[in-house]
Amino acid sequence: MSWLARIAGRDEWADKLHRLYQFQQQGALPDEASVFADVAAHYPRNTRFIALPMDMRCIGHGEVPVSLREQHDALARLRSTRQARGAVIPFATVNPLVPGSVEECKRALTDLRFAGLKIYPRMGFAPDHPDLMEEIYPLVSDLNLPVMTHCSRGGVQGKRICNYRGDAFTRPKAYLPVLRRFPQMRICLAHFGGQDDWVDYAAAQPTRGNENWMVQIREMIGSGEFPNLWTDISYTMFHFQDLAPILKLILTGGSLEARRLRSRVLFGSDFYMTRQEELSERAVCIRLREKLGEELFWQLAETGPEVWLGERDEDKSLWTLQG
């Protein structure tokens, strides 16, 4: 299809069709090892990758051919292969709407000894769903494991979930009950609010619901009220020319708010979703490193992730100082 669009003089359409074809081909790869090999080619040899499964049953988009247990077991096998040993950090996931998902998540965290939890409330549940608050978060907190959660207006959404409800489940302030009940649990709001909110911020345009999630996350972290709240820039910097300068601006400076934010932003990928974009993983990483400089880049790409994963201690004084 892309070559037909190019013949018709529609180069922009041709490029988009080609990227969608790449995305489709990536999703059609036979197993997790094939996807891992592809993304690993974009990064240095000693890079480690957090692997995030999803339980998309019961969200109205058809049957899922592979069960959550099979996904978890496949990631456990990948972790132990010669190809991925030491490079793949698997997380467990849970969808409290699905019967048996909570018990399977517990199995992955305890028996398989996975390194953290991934949740995706936009599929149709609140982050303070009773099953999460009473069964999953207490276990995660006791094990001192981190949580990664989707926090943008895009992505997978339950078929019967309208944008208004999807936003209500996903907005940063939806996590306030979780943050307050489990203050020691390290929670990362992925995507730093999402690319749409960054674009609207750059253009001084109102966002849906009249709240900008990027600004909301900055304020929540900068306030110092939630020392274990994090965010990442996965799938947010692909409009690089417009958005990377904003990232550098909000992460630099000597204010207490900027220093707190700098310590709580992680580099992220969101591969293979990024196959839909013009820039490659490697291109974004190189451009970001050049834009931010070595010290700040490695804070996002190495130091911060190690603290968030519980592998490295940090100076806590940023969270005891008053602005």
For residue range 20-41, what is the model confidence (pLDDT) as tens digits? 555 555 555 667 888 888 888 8
Give the residue, 229 or 322, on which the prediction is more confident: 229
Give the residue, 281 or 181, on which the prediction is more confident: 181
The pLDDT of 223-249, averaged and rounded, is 91
pLDDT of residue 273: 55
Range(s) of the domain holding residue 20:
1-30
- Judge if 169 and 72 occupy the same domain: yes
234 contacts 191 by C-beta, under 8 angstroms: yes
- Judge if 18 and 66 occupy the same domain: no
Give the residue, 237 or 208, on which the prediction is more confident: 208
- Judge if 4 and 75 occupy the same domain: no
Over pLDDT 70: what percentage of the chain? Answer: 87
Q: How many CA atoms lie within 13 A of 65 on its CB side?
A: 3
The pLDDT of 208-228, averaged and rounded, is 96
The residue whose two tokens read 């990536």 is 26
- Judge if 159 and 55 occupy the same domain: yes
Residue 55 clears pLDDT 50, i.e. is over it:
yes
Coil vs helix vs strand at 293: coil
- Judge if 24 and 51 occupy the same domain: no
Kindly report which listed range (21-35, 53-67, 148-162, 212-226) carries the lowest average pLDDT score.
21-35
Return the H-helix or E-strand segment holding 89. strand 88-90
Kindly report which listed range (54-58, 87-91, 228-232, 306-310) carries the lowest average pLDDT score.
54-58
- Judge if 278 and 220 occupy the same domain: yes
CA distance 186 to 145: 7
- Judge if 157 and 213 occupy the same domain: yes
The pLDDT of 143-162, averaged and rounded, is 92
- Judge if 21 and 127 occupy the same domain: no
Q: What band does 274 get if pLDDT is binned at 50, 70 and 90?
A: low
User: For residue 80, with 0-12 CB atoms within 10 Å meaning exposed, 13-18 middle and 19 or more buried, which class applies?
Assistant: exposed
The terminus-to-terminus CA distance of the chain in angstroms comes to 56
**For the whole prediction, is pTM greater than 0.75?**
yes
The pLDDT of 97-117, averaged and rounded, is 98
Number of domains in the chain: 2
- Judge if 157 and 193 occupy the same domain: yes
Residue 111 clears pLDDT 80, i.e. is over it:
yes
pLDDT of residue 1: 47
- Judge if 259 and 223 occupy the same domain: yes
pLDDT of residue 7: 47
Q: What band does 191 get if pLDDT is binned at 50, 70 and 90?
A: very high
- Judge if 17 and 49 occupy the same domain: no
Over pLDDT 90: what percentage of the chain? Answer: 66
The residue whose two tokens read 């400089």 is 293
Residue 159 clears pLDDT 90, i.e. is over it:
no
| Per-chain mean pLDDT for the chain | 88
- Judge if 174 and 88 occupy the same domain: yes
